Amino acid sequence: MSLPTPLYPSYDELVSIDVSEYPSIQSFIKNDSEFAHLLWDWGKEFLTYIGKNKAKPTFIRFRNEIERFILWSCLIKKMPIDKFKKTQILEYIDFCMKPPKEWFSTANSDRFISSQGLYLPSEKWKPFKLRSIKGLEYDNDINETKIGSKLQDISEYKPSRESLLSIFTALSAFYKHLMDLELVYGNPSGIAKKDCKHLIKDAQVKSFDRLTENQWEKVKDTAFDLADQDDKYIRSLFIIIALKVLFLRVSELSERDDWSPIMSHFWVDKNKDTWLKIYGKGRKIRDVSVPDTFLEYLERYRNFRGMDAFPGKNDTSPLLHKFKGRGGLTSRQLTRVVQEIFDITVQRLLSSKNRIDHQEAKELSIASTHFLRHTGASIEIERGRNLKEVSVDLGHASMDTTDRTYIDPDNKRRAKSGKNRPI
């Protein structure tokens, strides 16, 4: 079996790609099968369309899925995708549930490495990636519990239902695009989805990831203490508060190719209400309401940067500055800032003799930055704020999404009605 190789670079590079500069792609489309070149061209056409019309994360997600699909079609199935029926799509899903070990990487890696005018495939790149699982572990050498991580075992690899749905979404969009161009004359992915044995219908009571009130207070206290001890943590405090209080995704505060958050995105209307302009999912711009309590954190952060308390209309300085270099923080840099505060809070909780604090530390050790968004929104709803207004601030396309995620009234009623039934 031939080993997989990356087929598509970034969108900017793909638009004007010269295949002769990519020896591995050139080899793939010439030697691996008689139809490999055709499928690669179809993939390029589709991904170019996606990159032009959709957000960068959408392009990356679709590129990963379509690349795997074409690699499997050429290297494993050895059959062109326009000949696929429901059976072949289901075979591909079976493959995705249990890929061979040669198709796994253990860390993020660049796809191509520049060398002497050519772009060579990275040896570390593979179509699938094993996760690093965070948690607490006991260190015998220092006789204490600390934050650690271990690599997921291949035998434990199992795509989630959401991952499977993402595969079907990408395949369906790919086939639909090819049908619009009259390159294929059917979309077998839709029929296959209905019969997929791995797509178990999930009627469980959903829970979302958030911090407990105690965890949030501890995280906030940690950020405060660090900021009081060292000015560089004033930025960390501002980020933590902004993500939680304004219900933001990390990506919405980060520097992106098509959007740079700047200070003048904070603005005041004629009623003296403060807003923050946000570029969110689906390339949609929204204004998030900013509470008065947040302004003292904005003022402290701006003063740390040598600025006035509130930005003017022409203030184009990055909303979140780098300590070194120009421009704003990337999503990865933002995540590291938040994770550092989480990790220090975990160590503080572990140093307590309270068993509840130890349990809180265990749960916080696996928390992600998105917990702050969920925490802020859920606390606001519990406080009694209008659901529609919270939904708009969150950037949800529908209030039903907010209702299902944070309230789920049907399950609350069901739990209450069944709570006191006799044995």
Crossing angle of helices 36-53 and 23-31, in 10° steps, is: 130
3 state DSSP class of 8: coil
pLDDT band, residue 10 (cuts 50/70/90): very high
State yes or no: pLDDT of 412 exceeds 70. no
State yes or no: pLDDT of 32 exceeds 80. no
Convert the pLDDT of each residue in 299-358 to its tens digit: 999 999 999 999 999 999 999 999 988 889 999 999 999 999 999 999 999 988 888 888
My answer on whether 99 and 225 are in the same domain is no
Give the domain extent around 230: 213-416
Convert the pLDDT of each residue in 75-88 to its tens digit: 999 999 999 999 99
Distance CA 303, CA 299 (A): 6
Number of neighbouring beta carbons within 10 Å of residue 1: 8
CA-CA-CA-CA torsion sign (389, 390, 391, 394): positive
Distance CA 272, CA 14 (A): 47
State yes or no: pLDDT of 261 exceeds 80. yes
- Average pLDDT on 46-55 reads 93
- Residue 4 covered by a domain: no
My answer on whether 249 and 382 are in the same domain is yes
State yes or no: pLDDT of 215 exceeds 90. yes
- Average pLDDT on 44-67 reads 94
pLDDT: which is higher, 155 or 65:
65
- Residue 141 covered by a domain: no
- Residue 200 covered by a domain: no
Question: Which pLDDT score, from 0 to 100, does residue 344 have?
Answer: 95
- Residue 386 covered by a domain: yes
My answer on whether 338 and 231 are in the same domain is yes
My answer on whether 186 and 309 are in the same domain is no
Tokens for 173, please give them: 């969009």
State yes or no: pLDDT of 265 exceeds 90. yes
- Residue 151 covered by a domain: no
Question: Which pLDDT score, from 0 to 100, does residue 97 have?
Answer: 94
State yes or no: pLDDT of 164 exceeds 80. yes
Least confident of 145-154, 190-199, 236-245, 305-314: 145-154
Q: How many residues does the chain have?
A: 423
Question: Which pLDDT score, from 0 to 100, does residue 4 have?
Answer: 93
Tokens for 145, please give them: 């519990």
Helix (H) or strand (E) holding 149: strand 144-151
Least confident of 242-246, 399-403, 404-408: 404-408
Distance CA 18, CA 23 (A): 10
My answer on whether 181 and 217 are in the same domain is no
The total number of structural domains in the chain stands at: 2
CA-CA-CA-CA torsion sign (80, 82, 85, 90): positive
The CA-atom distances, in angstroms, between 121 and each of 13, 99, 379 are 14, 20, 47
Q: Strands 104-105 and 128-129: what pairing? A: parallel
- Residue 62 covered by a domain: yes
- Average pLDDT on 189-195 reads 93
- Average pLDDT on 140-148 reads 61
State yes or no: pLDDT of 145 exceeds 70. no
Question: Which pLDDT score, from 0 to 100, does residue 57 have?
Answer: 86
- Residue 339 covered by a domain: yes
Summary mean pLDDT of the chain: 90
My answer on whether 279 and 315 are in the same domain is yes
Residue 5's region, left for phi above 0, alpha for psi from -120 to 50, else beta, is beta
Convert the pLDDT of each residue in 87-127 to its tens digit: 999 999 999 999 999 999 988 889 999 999 999 999 999 99
- Residue 53 covered by a domain: yes
State yes or no: pLDDT of 142 exceeds 70. no
State yes or no: pLDDT of 393 exceeds 70. yes
- Average pLDDT on 253-276 reads 94
My answer on whether 169 and 255 are in the same domain is no
My answer on whether 77 and 169 are in the same domain is yes
My answer on whether 322 and 238 are in the same domain is yes
Distance CA 96, CA 224 (A): 45
My answer on whether 166 and 284 are in the same domain is no
My answer on whether 181 and 283 are in the same domain is no
Read off the CATH number of the domain in which 390 is found.
1.10.443.10
Distance CA 406, CA 242 (A): 20
Question: Which pLDDT score, from 0 to 100, does residue 137 have?
Answer: 64
State yes or no: pLDDT of 239 exceeds 90. yes
Helix (H) or strand (E) holding 114: strand 112-115
My answer on whether 329 and 293 are in the same domain is yes
The CA-atom distances, in angstroms, between 120 and each of 69, 133, 385 are 21, 30, 54
Share of residues in the chain with pLDDT > 90 (%): 68
Number of neighbouring beta carbons within 10 Å of residue 238: 22
